[in-house]
Structure 1
């Protein structure tokens, strides 16, 4: 039986993405993949990662997936241990604030008003300030001076504020990072018109 001979070329080996796997204290499996970004002047570039957590629900990148590396300040409820009483988030001046999940403590002024200075509950020597007023229910934006000389601004631009249906600000996301030399990085967000998420 006559036939033709065919050369079979095996496929190239599939690549892999370098990442970090760990199991956190609650038993959730997490996997993080660093996202390469172009270098910025004097190191002024974001440190982004795509992160999977087995305990997370649906995210913008699929079930369990989210992006990390951009800081935010959000409203927090009052607690018995820190405030002497427990309460829910009210979207009023009674609310407290958290920086990336860590509670902010007012050290000079009242919570949520213009010019109040805060510190982080676990001391990081960052000086946090609230600025302006948004509908009388909290600050319009925040700024933070870190001990490494960087200044972060949160919620100054309208696309960096996540609001609820009543236009109360729920989350102030970082929109500008600057250093002492005048180098800066601006961050712009797209907002999901259905969920309000940035």
Structure 2
């Protein structure tokens, strides 16, 4: 009987760990939040426009990463969000080739539909874990020195890295991709990352037609401070109000899931106020009728826009 798991923590939503500070008893002065200067949107614009395509030497794929610039958090604890393109990627929430990576643990479909028992392997990026005992798993090839624990009573995962940061997966119904009629889970998405000093990033999702979509990321909260600190910074993912014209059907989990949504905006807010927004536009391929990301454009809190980064696509000739 196989007792090993394959998993990875996708870096696109990683927690950046910074230098420690002291947590004392009684009211304390929390680390101050860095100010967001008027030139910050200029930095976001420069980052957007400076990215160019590269070639993956291992696969030959054309690749591109668009970093989503966010205001800094306390002690530099903030989410790392990006739109990623690979010419090897299928159609997705941002069109053909594009993805909005989200950390998740899921069952492998390499050998077909999962059995949903302890003979399954689990995958999120190719890192294989071996069963240690109890509920604990470790990487077969140790590199990150991360411990993975499956909490069966709550159907969730917790990963502990060597710095003591905890990553919680599948804490809510929305962050678990479950069988619609059976107690079977195909994927557990990252809900929370918290370092040993209490700095936390939390992730929320919405689920529709058996598809999980990122909804928002909150950061700058700290429950170890007295009084506890609430998050005041957020990254919001806004989807087009109408169903996309090229719905994506998927049966990998053993039941149908339908991706009807297409990402329209990534909105950065502080205390509920919009700081800047990444606006996405699409067109349909004349050859395949699939969504193609046409442009990404930054706008400020007043709706003023900067020049868009545009993309063109060529049909591959046989």
Shorter-chain TM-score above 0.5: yes
**1: CA distance between counterparts of 2:53 and 2:162?**
30
**2: CA distance between counterparts of 1:144 and 1:164?**
24
CA drift of 1:88 comes to 5.5
Q: What count of residue pairs does the alignment treat as equivalent?
A: 165
TM alignment of 1:1-198, pairs within 5 A = 17-19=49-51, 21-24=53-56, 25-68=58-101, 70-76=102-108, 89-109=114-134, 116-123=135-142, 124-133=144-153, 140-167=155-182, 168-191=184-207, 193-198=208-213
**2: CA distance between counterparts of 1:105 and 1:179?**
25
TM-score normalised to structure 1 length? 0.74
Residue segments in structure 1 that go unaligned for 5+ positions in a row: 1-14, 79-85, 110-115, 134-138
CA-to-aligned-CA distance 1:136-171 (integer Å, 9 cap, x gap): xxx711001101221100111111112234442111
**2: CA distance between counterparts of 1:18 and 1:26?**
24
**1: CA distance between counterparts of 2:113 and 2:88?**
24
CA-to-aligned-CA distance 1:33-69 (integer Å, 9 cap, x gap): 101112222222111110111111111111111113x
CA-to-aligned-CA distance 1:59-99 (integer Å, 9 cap, x gap): 1111111113x321111268xxxxxxx78621122212234
RMSD: 2.4
Q: Greater shift after overlay, 121-130 or 166-175? A: 166-175
2:180 and 2:210 in contact (8 A); partners too: no
Residue segments in structure 2 that go unaligned for 5+ positions in a row: 1-45, 214-318
Distance change >3 Å, CA 87–CA 31, structure 1 → 2: closer
TM-score normalised to structure 2 length? 0.47
Distance change >3 Å, CA 91–CA 20, structure 1 → 2: farther
1:98 and 1:104 in contact (8 A); partners too: no
**2: CA distance between counterparts of 1:23 and 1:163?**
36
CA drift of 1:176 comes to 0.3
Distance change >3 Å, CA 29–CA 195, structure 1 → 2: farther
**2: CA distance between counterparts of 1:18 and 1:182?**
35
Larger RCO (alpha carbons 8 Å, 6+ apart): 2
CA drift of 1:107 comes to 0.9
**2: CA distance between counterparts of 1:20 and 1:89?**
38
SS at match of 2:118: coil
SS at match of 1:147: coil
**2: CA distance between counterparts of 1:190 and 1:19?**
30
2:205 and 2:212 in contact (8 A); partners too: no
